[in-house]
A and B are shown apart, each in its own frame.
Chain A
Amino acid sequence: MKIATGLSVIASMLLASNAATAANVDANKSKAAAQPAQKKVRAVNVMTPEQAKASLGRSACVARCAVN
């Protein structure tokens, strides 16, 4: 079975699916590219190690990394 392009229906179906996948991936990339603004806002809030430690409200916690 041939279609106008000279390719079979199956070949056309695969090419169309590949193109649709690529378009969808590109769309998601564009969407992700729009997110850095949001990430940037979050990044401003990133603390230094000293600030992070102080934010926990305790001077020290001795954690034994052991069981299980």
Chain B
Amino acid sequence: MNAATILDRIQTPDTHIDGRTVVVAGVPQGLLVPSLFIAKPDEHGRTHVYGSKGVGACDVGDPESVWAALIATGGVLFGTPDDIQAVTALLAAPRTSRTVSYLCAIAPDCGAVARAIARLAESRVLVLGAGGIGSMISMVLAGSGVGHVTFCDGDVVEASNLNRQFFYGPSDVGRKKVSVLAEAISARYPDVQARAVDGMVDLDNLPDLMRGMDMVVIGADEPPHLASDAARLAHSLGIDSISCGYVHAEGALTFLSHRAERIEPDSTVQWMRVAGGAMPSFGPANVELAGIASSTVVLNLCGLLSAAGDDLQNKWPTYELPRRWHTDV
């Protein structure tokens, strides 16, 4: 018995599933979240429902049991008929479907998902650095639906960059990174305003670059005080920031909310990633950092960072998971 069959069997005369919409007495009540997974039942008819909030066991022969598991595990995202319709349309649109799928696993209801997508489209993010981390973050944010992405870097593409800076190709060697990146983002997402700033950043131009931004991402690591200076500047200007990088095999992310009363010295989370260590410019480390940083930026812009179980101020229990894995190994 597969998931579709199980879902078919739990429908009743007054409760049915239309596509992924749960309808009660003719009125839409919620959506089955896209990440929902129902395991194959065992020989006793027991199965496990994997929702966005956890895993629950149920009896496939008892519809009430299955529905209870779907509700308890976050398998159903509730909402008003209008919000359900809006999220259904966003899920059907290729440009937004994957971001919405992700948000459906975190948002408290369908209305929050619809509002989050609208907020992303209006958001403005400044990314410092267009190397292995910054270029990927810029592209991911554009793909996520962030409407305005500004990135700055003074470097040209070098052949040694190609192992980890995937939006630059051999024919781009010698060209300005920001120019190539702007072309790549615009070609893929013409609806995004991609602004390239070619050149060095310093204390004279950083405040102007940050003006009007909703968030600043620091993906450059030279000189060493850039991250702290830029984060403090952003905080002073009332803007949230996140910086990311790594030291040898340790990844590090620092999120600083503009609401933080003071800049906490321990606001950085670090975790060991690769057993035996890895050189700083080894590609996979960039990919992971960029992925986690991008997700954090998107959730923060959507106002859902706390909904993901993270402390807006400093601590991210979620990100301790990789460290535990490492410890277990």
Tell me the nearest residue of chain B to A7, going by C-beta. B14
Tell me the nearest residue of chain B to A62, going by C-beta. B202
CB contacts (< 8 Å) of A42 on chain B: these are: 238, 258-259, 261
Tell me the nearest residue of chain B to A35, going by C-beta. B259
Contact of A56 with B232 at beta-carbon distance under 8 Å, contacts A11-B12, A65-B154 already known: yes
Chain A 12-38: CB-based contact to B (< 8 A → 1; otherwise 0): 011101100110110010000000001
Chain B 1-40: CB-based contact to A (< 8 A → 1; otherwise 0): 0000000001011110000001011000110000000000
CB contacts (< 8 Å) of B269 on chain A: these are: none
> Are B78 and A63 interface neighbours, CB within 8 A?
no
CB contacts (< 8 Å) of A21 on chain B: these are: 78-79, 108-109
B211 to chain A, nearest CB (A): 7
CB contacts (< 8 Å) of A18 on chain B: these are: 29-30, 78-79
Tell yes or no: B214 within 8 A of A by CB: no
A68 to chain B, nearest CB (A): 4
> Are A11 and B129 interface neighbours, CB within 8 A?
no
B113 to chain A, nearest CB (A): 12
Contact of A65 with B71 at beta-carbon distance under 8 Å, contacts A14-B22, A21-B108, A52-B237 already known: no
Tell me the nearest residue of chain B to A53, going by C-beta. B203
CB contacts (< 8 Å) of B15 on chain A: these are: 8, 10-11, 14
> Are A56 and B154 interface neighbours, CB within 8 A?
no
Contact of A63 with B200 at beta-carbon distance under 8 Å, contacts A46-B238, A52-B237, A56-B229 already known: yes
Count residues of chain A with CB under 8 A from any CB of chain B: 39
Contact of A8 with B12 at beta-carbon distance under 8 Å, contacts A18-B29, A50-B207, A65-B129 already known: yes
Tell yes or no: A4 within 8 A of B by CB: no
Tell yes or no: B112 within 8 A of A by CB: yes
Chain B 65-90: CB-based contact to A (< 8 A → 1; otherwise 0): 00110010000101110000000000
CB contacts (< 8 Å) of B286 on chain A: these are: 68
Cross-chain contact of B245 among A11, A65, A68 (Cβ < 8 A):
A68
Alpha-carbon distance between A24 and B79 when the two chains are bound, in angstroms: 12
Tell me the nearest residue of chain B to A38, going by C-beta. B259
B residues 121-173 near A (Cβ < 8 Å) are 128-134, 152-155
Alpha-carbon distance between A8 and B11 when the two chains are bound, in angstroms: 11
Tell yes or no: B267 within 8 A of A by CB: no
Chain A 34-68: CB-based contact to B (< 8 A → 1; otherwise 0): 00001100110011011111011011111111111
B residues 170-203 near A (Cβ < 8 Å) are 200-203
> Are B67 and A10 interface neighbours, CB within 8 A?
yes
Cross-chain contact of B200 among A7, A8, A24, A62 (Cβ < 8 A):
A62
Alpha-carbon distance between A35 and B232 when the two chains are bound, in angstroms: 23
Contact of A17 with B155 at beta-carbon distance under 8 Å, contacts A42-B261, A68-B132 already known: no
> Are A53 and B67 interface neighbours, CB within 8 A?
no
Tell yes or no: B220 within 8 A of A by CB: yes
CB contacts (< 8 Å) of B259 on chain A: these are: 38-39, 42
Q: Can you identify 30 A-B contacts, CB atoms within 8 angstroms?
A: A8-B15, A10-B63, A11-B15, A13-B68, A14-B30, A14-B67, A17-B78, A21-B79, A25-B108, A25-B109, A42-B261, A46-B236, A46-B238, A47-B236, A47-B237, A49-B210, A52-B236, A52-B237, A53-B207, A56-B229, A58-B229, A62-B200, A64-B222, A65-B128, A65-B129, A66-B155, A66-B220, A68-B134, A68-B219, A68-B286
Alpha-carbon distance between A56 and B237 when the two chains are bound, in angstroms: 12
CB contacts (< 8 Å) of A9 on chain B: these are: 64
